[in-house]
Structure formats: C-alpha cells, structure tokens
Amino acid sequence: MKKLVTSIALGSLLVSNALAVDAKTANVNKNAVIKAEKKAQNTQLVKEAIRAIQYTQDALIYLNNNKIDKAKEALKNAIGELAIVLNSPNPPYLLPVDMNIQAYEFQGKLEDVAKIVEKAKLLVVANKLPEAREVLNTLRDEIVIKTVNLPLATYPAALNLAVKYLNEGKIKEAKDVLTMALSTLVEVDTIIPIPLIKAQALVTEASKIVNKDKKQALKYLEAAKYQLKLAETLGYTSKSDTTYKMLKDAIDKLEKEIKKNHNTKGLFEELIQKLKEFKEKAIQHINK
C-alpha cells in the first residue's frame, strides 16, 4: 500500500535550477531533497491496522453473500488486531495504513513569481478558475506526504457495534456501520517546503568545508539566502519565533566573519539550529 509518487523527474530536474549555481551547490540541493524523500518513506505503516481494514472489507463481502458466521469471524479478527495496538504503550490516535509521496519543484526564477501571481489574478477576474488553479500550481515547491490513517478512537467501537447488530440479526444495520467505519479513514497531507530543506542543507555543508574551501562555503551561503527568499516569496510561513529576515541577517553576518577569517563554528551551530526549528515549524499538516 505504501507508494512513492514524484510529479517531476527529480534525478534530472533537481540538478538544474532557475538560480545559476555551480555543480557542487546543485548537487547539495539535489541530495537534500532526495534525503528528505527517503526520510518520508520511512513512515511506518501499522500492519495491525492494515489487517483490521482487510478483515472489515472481508466481513462486508461475507455479509453481502449472506455468510453471517464468516463475517463474525472476520470482525473478531479485526477487533483482535486493533486490541494489540490499543494495549500497546501510548497508542497514537491515527494509525497510518497507506501513504504516497509527491514532489513539486518550482522551475521559474524568483522574479517570475510576481508575474505568475498576476497572471492567475487576471484569470480569476475573467472567471477562468480552472486555468487559474493550473497557473497557481506552478508556484508549488514542496514535498507532499499523503497518509491515510485509521482513527483508533472510533474504529474499534464501530466494529463492536457491527458484531452486536449481527448477534441481533440486524444484517443491514451491521453493513451500514461497517461501510461508515471504512469511510472514516482520515487522510493527512504533510507539506514540507523544499527551499527550506535546501537552505538547511546548504548551510550545513558550508559549515563542514569553511576551513578548507572558504570560497565554496560562501557560494553555499549565498545559495541558502536565495532559497530562503524563494520560500518567503512562495508564501511558506513558519510558526517559529525566528523570521526570514533574522535568518538572512544571520547568514550575512556569517559571510562577513568568514571573509575576515574569524572562527565561525558557534555562528554556524546557532544558524543551523534556527534553520532546523524554522523548517520544522513551517511544515503543515492538513486533515482532509
């Protein structure tokens, strides 16, 4: 059930960027996104929840074929699977049962954003909403993790109610409850801004090489500022106390210290931590 879906050919498109960057910078950007995607793929699906859904679907099939005893057995198995999760320490409210990942990368230049927004506005005024949506979708620069989840707070209760109805001979009511239970699966979209992933990776890489390749480190920092500006222009916000301006000022300060050959270890550590916090708090979780 677990899938990886990319809307673009990451292997090639991520190497090229609207910003004219050297091969090393492009490679850092590419690897940062690939690493983020791989991390997303590590989301653990709950096998007990997956089996509980399969047993629920089996029960409905049995009921449609008037095989009541088999339906009861399937529901018993489903309840047993979820009991394992319920009896575990601190079970989560939502149990992931399926997921896929989609990646979108903005292919324009920073100055193109305003032009694209203006174009979308004109289409809206002309009531050409499908075209406007299509235009606005080109402004996405993000990884979207779509996760389907079983709600642990309500699903087991629905299964138990279905069993009760079956014991009372209320077949239709049992079918209705099971159908409703399957419709309560919750889809959550987790949206991770790609420019923030790149900015964090670029600053981290700069910190590793600053003592042996100052020139390249400065290129990474300049590219990180571009990514932060792109994220801000595309409308990605963060709940962090840190702001885009504060991050830019911190990078500016770092660049000055590097050019003066001063020790920048502490400044790098502080900036990397702020970028990490900023990125984590910019990630959106949208229930559908």
pTM of the model: 0.85
Task: Quote the CA–CA distance of 58 and 63 in Å, as a whole number.
Answer: 9
Grade residue 42 by pLDDT with cuts at 50, 70 and 90: confident
Residues pairing with 287 in the sheet = 188
- Tell which wins on pLDDT, 3 or 77: 77
Length, in residues, of the chain: 288
Provide the greatest CA pair distance for the chain: 83
Amino acid code (one letter) for 103: A
Asked if 6 contacts 102 with a C-beta cutoff of 8 angstroms, the reply is yes
Pair of tokens at residue 32: 């940062």
Task: Quote the CA–CA distance of 122 and 111 in Å, as a whole number.
Answer: 18
pLDDT value of residue 16: 38
Average pLDDT of the chain, as a whole number: 92
The SS3 assignment for 187 reads strand
The H-assigned helical ranges of the chain are 10-13, 23-41, 47-64, 68-86, 112-125, 129-137, 155-167, 171-183, 194-209, 214-233, 244-259, 265-282
Amino acid code (one letter) for 227: Q
Question: Which residue in 41, 49, 74, 44 sits closest to 59, CA to CA?
Answer: 74
pLDDT 10s digits, 128-154: 999 999 999 999 999 999 999 999 999
The pLDDT > 90 percentage for the chain reads 89
pLDDT 10s digits, 189-228: 999 999 999 999 999 999 999 999 999 999 999 999 999 9
What is the CB neighbour count within 10 angstroms for residue 223?
26
Is residue 263's pLDDT more than 60? Answer: yes
pLDDT 10s digits, 52-80: 999 999 999 999 999 999 999 999 999 99
Asked if 193 contacts 231 with a C-beta cutoff of 8 angstroms, the reply is yes
Amino acid code (one letter) for 177: V
